[in-house]
A and B are shown apart, each in its own frame.
Chain A
Amino acid sequence: MSKFLLLAFRNVFRNRRRTMMTLFMVSGGVAGLLLAGGYFAHMIDSLRESTIRNGLGHIQIFTAEHFQRDEVHVLDTGIDNWRQVAATVKAVPHVRGVAPRIEFYGMVSNGQKSSIFMGSAVDPDAEKSLGFTSNVSSGRDLDSRPGGEVEAIIGAGLAKSMNVGVGDGLTLLSVTSDGALNGVDVQIAGIVTSGVAEMDARYLRITLNSAQRLLQSDRITNLVVGLDSTANTDAVYDTLIPRLTGLSQQMKLKKWIDLATYYKQVRTLFNGIFLFMGLIVFFMVLMSSVNTLLMTMFERTREIGAMLAMGTPRFWIVALFMTEAVIIGVLGAVAGVIVGNLLGALINISGLHMPPPPGYTVNIPFLVEHVPSLMIGSSLLVIVSLAFASILPAVRASRLQIAEALAHV
């Protein structure tokens, strides 16, 4: 068997120039996939972390009722004893902090014109401690210092619609938890831009205390849990489930991935693009290798005839050609992984940036992640591609008529 492998290995280097061309193509394909896949992985990971940091958190806690029915009055499916729940969650390892939130809606007026808003109430200190930030384009973010005025930050679209700016006042009207109408005057502390026009046209954020006064309720909609690392999400989730069982309200936990719809759409898109690239590389290697391996087969016709004449089983010839192709695939994959990682490292230290995507104003750093699963997957892809490419030449070689093959010139 070792002699058979030795024969296959030496045959690979019989025509070095041709083998080098094939290796160059195979390794180029692998390196290309690693660079593209590494960049996509960086983009996806960055999007994941920014999605989490922008307020989604790693885990969100709601009441189970929140998902079972629509609210009749605001916050009637909210968490009642949320401070106790928050304290329980904070005691779990890897939890960096817990931020209470209220989601509400109502009308906003500048005295002359009214519009609908989608409100979010937060504890600014808790948000800051978890690193959750708002994209404030002018003014400043909310702070929790008690003051005479109720502060708000609003979306750029809403500010434009209401014709207001930082320091101006607005009146919020909302239905309380008892079904009564309540109102509060707010001063605009900052304008935010999310990049999504529909969101910016309705967005408004005030402090938790202000919202509870407006809504006449101590409840909150949900608790957002921030962890020390995204990798610990599943472990903390599994720890929290039993600890939040048996409370007066039944709780329901959602991982970030269950709530990150945009992230999942982008990831699916990138995966689709990468799959398409992988298919291109697969067929590129397949088609060019079939030609190369057929040339090799024709050149060795008389030698194969002699081997068959000496009693070599025909399946040995098939195995020999396929082994040679797989060896080229393995060598090309190894070279591709080395080249791909080296190029990736060079790109990472070069400090290159990509232009901002639509809706963004900041250049995105062009970074390539080194992903082991990508290296293994890309390598397997080209090895399988070469193995497929060798089937036709291998079968043709094994079916040669011996007498004709020996007379081949």
Chain B
Amino acid sequence: MDYLVKVEAVSRRFPLDHSYVSALDDASLHVSAGEFLAIVGPSGSGKSTLLNLMGCIDKPTAGRIVLDGQDTSALKPARLTALRREKIGFVFQAFNLIPVFTASENVEYPLLVQGVSASERGKRAAAALESVGLLSRAGQRPDLLSGGERQRVAVARAIVHRPALVLADEPTANLDTHNATQLIDLMRDLNRSLGLTFIFSTHDQRLLEHTPRIVRLCDGRVASDSAADGGSNE
């Protein structure tokens, strides 16, 4: 079976003084295109590390990650940059919008990096903002948006270039329950309507009710995978 993401026996250790701390230990995971997957676990379980590795912004100490058929460990930095630019969308815990850009300009940014023309960028940014219900706030700068709105702009920015994979690291951590639920529902809707693959991490159990696949990490290892267990959460 062709998987979009294959995490194969991946370990990631970080140096600490004269020793090492292991953030991921022999973790394996296969994700198909169009999946909506949550990675859960307590703090320090390796959720962010796993997302960073799948997002090609960090390199594993051992094992390999294959993204859309490409072994990322064999790619040079410039090719990894291009891979992130074309195949991956990111939603960050702290939104990380560019504060001097408007919502629309922030959404345009991945297209700007790809060299898309200004008129095309404008159309696609408007469509992305409309899909997250924020077209009316397109001209506002991030400091004038609420936390929930900022994260929806971040989601629009992550999907505007139609990536194969959207990675969201604790996207609800800075949101209240209402906004957090809305955001997860929005991502699920986009997953269904656009067929985009979403992988997000959270430690909030309440957000997992409608998540079809849940991967639990514990001490850097995959403790359980609802797909592998044969069950679905939905």
Contacts and interface: CB of A to CB of B under 8 A. Distances in A.
Interface residues of A, number: 23
Interface string B156-168: 0100000000000
B92 A406 contact: yes
Contacts of A92: none
A7 B98 CA distance: 9
Interface string B109-145: 1101110001000000000000000000000000000
B113 A310 contact: yes
Interface string B72-91: 00000010011111101010
Nearest to A2: B118
Contacts of B32: none
Interface string A271-308: 00000000000000000000000000000001101111
Contact of A402 (B57, B101, B108, B109): B57
A403 B52 contact: yes
A310 B98 contact: no
B15 interface: no
A3 B57 contact: no
B100 A311 contact: no
Given A309-B84, A311-B81, A406 B96 contact: yes
B71 interface: no
Nearest to A311: B85
Contacts of A402: 52, 57-58
Contacts, number: 65
Nearest to A14: B100
A195 interface: no
A403 B80 CA distance: 14
Nearest to B59: A403
Contacts of A305: 96
B99 interface: yes
A11 B113 contact: no
Contact of A310 (B52, B101, B109, B118): B109
Most chain-A Cβ atoms within 10 A of its Cβ — which of B57, B86, B90, B118?
A: B57
A306 B112 contact: no
A262 interface: no
Contacts of A316: 113
A308 B57 CA distance: 9
Interface in A1-48: 2-4, 7, 10-11, 14
B55 interface: yes
A406 B55 CA distance: 13
Nearest to B53: A403
Nearest to B85: A311
Contacts of A306: 90, 92, 96
A311 B57 contact: no
Contacts of A135: none
Interface of B: 52, 55, 57-58, 78, 81-86, 88, 90, 92, 94, 96, 98-101, 105, 108-110, 112-114, 118, 157
